[in-house]
Amino acid sequence: MNVAAKGRARLVVLISGRGRNLAALIAAVNDGRIAADLVAVISNRADAAGLALAREAGVPVQVLPHVDYPDRAAFDAALAAALRALEPDIVALAGFMRILTENFVREFEGRMLNIHPSLLPRHKGLNTHAAVLRDGDAEHGATVHFVTPQLDGGPLIIQGRFTVSAQDGAQQLAERVLEQIECRIYPQAVAWMARGELRCEQGVPRFRDRPLSAVLSLDDLEPGFR
């Protein structure tokens, strides 16, 4: 997909919780740092606090409670139908706490991004902050990657990292990762994709028309995202 060739990008964000990354994305869209139209926010939970953020910003919301469907495949089929109707160029998973089926991922592969609170490939899945403390990691951070059927295993785009302090507990790490890293690198990655500077072709991420040979870092952030 070449977003630049088709005009202004259409962005859909999927959430399950409080929406801190969603808030960062909304702010970046509203002030023009992300050149995209945020056409919808979809949640699998009616009580997700992030839905209120979307409504306050005037963004249409949809709720598809996963408990209303008999299995994962049925839910994913309904979610795929909702996305199809919205015709998104970018689907941003922002704390969307669902493991997606292969058929769903394949349909939107190359258009779908995720933010994960670890320095992938370390600590895939849940409880990443506790895992960092358990393993005595010297550094921690977050990663933006393209979504593939392999859980947290898609091509890496950008990471931000910091040194773990002796005073850090799991909650402190969670807040540091969110505030210092996630809310900076995720809007930046979406902005690059909206401008057509970032895409994935045949499983290979490309940045500004070159294969991305190494994961980008905080040093690559544009001034508006630092």
Residues 29 and 101 in one domain: yes
Residue 1 has pLDDT above 90, yes or no: no
Residues 128 and 56 in one domain: no
CATH code: domain of residue 161:
3.40.50.170
Pair 215, 159: CB distance under 8 Å? yes
Residues 95 and 126 in one domain: no
Domain range enclosing 130: 117-143+157-220
Residues 12 and 92 in one domain: yes
- Mean pLDDT value across residues 14-23: 97
Q: What's the confidence (pLDDT) of residue 71?
A: 97
Residues 177 and 194 in one domain: yes
Mean pLDDT over each residue of the chain, to the nearest integer? 96
Residues 16 and 89 in one domain: yes
Is 46 contained in some domain? Answer: yes
Residues 190 and 163 in one domain: yes
Is 226 contained in some domain? Answer: no
Residues 72 and 137 in one domain: no
Write down the H helix ranges in 57-212: 72-86, 102-108, 128-135, 170-176, 183-194
Residues 100 and 75 in one domain: yes
Confidence band of 3 (pLDDT split at 50, 70, 90): low
Pair 26, 220: CB distance under 8 Å? no
Is 148 contained in some domain? Answer: no
Confidence band of 5 (pLDDT split at 50, 70, 90): low
Report the distance separating Cα 142 and Cα 225, nearest Å: 15
pLDDT tens readout for residues 152-175 = 999 999 999 999 999 999 999 999
Is 133 contained in some domain? Answer: yes
Confidence band of 7 (pLDDT split at 50, 70, 90): confident
Number of domains making up the chain: 2
Name the β-bridge partners of 13.
41, 92
Q: What's the confidence (pLDDT) of residue 2?
A: 56
Cβ atoms < 10 Å from Cβ of 68: 11
Residues 54 and 127 in one domain: no
pLDDT tens readout for residues 121-162 = 999 999 999 999 999 999 999 999 999 999 999 999 999 999
Residues 128 and 177 in one domain: yes
Supply the pTM of this predicted model: 0.95
Catalytically annotated residues: 116
Is 19 contained in some domain? Answer: yes
Pair 206, 14: CB distance under 8 Å? no
Angle at 85 between CA 2 and CA 44, to 5 degrees: 105
Residues 76 and 137 in one domain: no
